[in-house]
């Protein structure tokens, strides 16, 4: 006789020849979060610091709309819209996009360049009422970046660990792109008015 054994956590099913769909669903439902094939998403947005709270929210909405126009067909975006829905606003600092006389680059422009370097799908928004200044950038981030409970930082036995050693360990645990984006975003504060 053939035996089928499905096991996850503390739950185990044993049958001689068949397993019902209901039993399989019960086992799969109890999978640990780290083993889920679909990663939860959050929409992150950098907004320039000069904006009030409501203005920052509006600019984030504009940048998120741009994201939808460019990347709306991707499964991660569809999942975020239908299920995850969380939006995180971060202080993006300054913008110098509209000042043709300036040789300085605003911090928000530098952040967009860095996100592109990391191959993160990101969209800026340029506000027509502010002389087409870049006011916000929106991008999706999966749970490996922000969920420190299920994707913890590496544990070290020694208290004196260099940032390079921590980054190297993160790269080994989660991959280069995840480690670099995780380190980058850990430096930012939430936007405030």
Residues 38-68: tens digit of each pLDDT: 899 999 999 999 999 999 999 999 999 999 9
**Domain interval for residue 17:** 4-31
- Nearest Cα residue to 138 out of 35, 73, 2, 42: 42
Q: What is the Cα 159 distance to its own chain's centre?
A: 28
Residues 89-126: tens digit of each pLDDT: 999 999 986 555 656 789 999 999 999 999 999 999 99
Residue 11 has pLDDT above 70, yes or no: no
Mean pLDDT, residues 156-182 taken together: 79
Bridge partners of residue 137, in order along the sequence: 46, 124
In a domain, 192, yes or no: no
pTM: 0.75
The answer to whether residues 93 and 49 belong to one domain is yes
Per-residue pLDDT, 17: 44
The answer to whether residues 85 and 180 belong to one domain is yes
Q: Is 22 left (phi over 0), alpha (psi -120 to 50) or beta?
A: alpha
The answer to whether residues 24 and 57 belong to one domain is no
The answer to whether residues 178 and 106 belong to one domain is yes
In a domain, 82, yes or no: yes
Q: Is 160 left (phi over 0), alpha (psi -120 to 50) or beta?
A: beta
In a domain, 49, yes or no: yes
In a domain, 36, yes or no: no
The answer to whether residues 53 and 135 belong to one domain is yes
Q: How many domains does the chain have?
A: 2
């Amino acid at each position: 006789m053939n035996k089928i054994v499905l096991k996850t956590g503390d739950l185990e099913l044993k049958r001689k020849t068949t397993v019902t769909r209901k039993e399989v669903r019960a086992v799969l439902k109890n999978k640990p979060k780290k083993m889920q094939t679909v990663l939860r998403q959050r929409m992150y947005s950098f907004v320039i610091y000069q904006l009030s709270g409501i203005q920052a929210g509006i600019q984030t909405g504009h940048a998120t709309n741009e994201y939808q126009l460019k990347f709306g067909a991707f499964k991660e975006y569809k999942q975020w819209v239908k299920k995850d829905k969380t939006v995180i606003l971060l202080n993006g600092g300054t913008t110098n996009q509209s000042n043709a006389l300036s040789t300085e680059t605003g911090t928000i422009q530098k952040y967009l360049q860095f996100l592109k370097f990391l191959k993160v799908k990101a969209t800026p928004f340029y506000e027509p009422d502010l002389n087409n200044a870049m006011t916000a950038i929106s991008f999706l981030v999966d749970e490996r970046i922000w969920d420190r409970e299920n994707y913890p930082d590496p544990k070290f036995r020694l208290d004196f660990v260099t940032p390079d050693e921590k980054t190297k360990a993160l790269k080994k645990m989660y991959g280069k792109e995840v480690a670099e984006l995780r380190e980058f975003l850990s430096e930012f504060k939430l936007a405030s008015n």
